[in-house]
Amino acid sequence: MPRNLIVCLSALATIASVVAQRPANISICDYYTTALLTDDTAANQYTLLTLLVNTAVIGKYTEPSNGVLVPGILNPNGVYNDTAVNLLPYFNGCDISTNNGTVFNLITNPPISQNFLDGGGAVPLMHNLPANDTTSNQYFLLTHLYQYFGVLLGCSKYNTAGFPAYGGVGSMYRVHQYMALDPDEIGYFITQVGLSAASFGVASSDINAVANALFSLFSYKCSPPFTVVPAQGK
């Protein structure tokens, strides 16, 4: 992971932590569910992921913020490494960068533009919801993010009542292959995830672990296939 990303996330995460060092035998998800929501239930784990993802996407909307500013992935005036970053066109349908279904062929099934903010945009996210319906592109995108991060953070109640299993495509390359994200765009995205976690008091060591995982999964086009969600494959 680039040094500037490590320094940025570490400095922000040390502003405040909800608790001391996380025991090695407890996952990040389970630990912070208990720390922030008391009971380590499937519903609370899903709520934790909802809070973390929604905050990363639209910026900080809850209190307290632990003094951490979270601009948000959808902020059109993002900055990373002194470079302007605007990821909004990937979400609002302005860019032709989305897979058209599950057939991955540039010639016979080229990418399309897709509005992923068709379920109410930021408003339902500010109410801790993925969308204002259950059929929009926004609903499927946000719930897939909750579920994917649930696997990544080791939620013990994943795929039980109250925490549905990941329903998206397993290969992150196939999901993002037409986006052509550059290093600054990827760095900005990962930083927003880290800032979101820091705003809830997650420890710097845990933030760096997640950032490293995201960087290894999304930053190399020629990496060998890697399984994150076992049921989905590589």
Per-residue pLDDT tens over the stretch 79-106: 999 999 999 999 999 998 887 766 666 6
pLDDT of residue 159: 94
The 3-state DSSP class for residue 231 equals: helix
Q: Is the pLDDT of residue 40 over 50?
A: yes
Question: Which letter does DSSP use for residue 220 in this model?
Answer: -
Tell me the helix, strand and coil percentages in the chain, rounded to 5: 45, 10, 45
Rg (CA), the chain: 17
Query: Which stretches does DSSP call E strand in 39-80?
Result: 78-80
Which residues touch 188 (CB under 8 Å, ≥6 apart)?
73, 78, 79, 80, 85, 87
Distance, CA of 110 to CA of 96 (rounded, Å): 9
Q: Is the pLDDT of residue 225 over 50?
A: yes
pLDDT of residue 203: 93
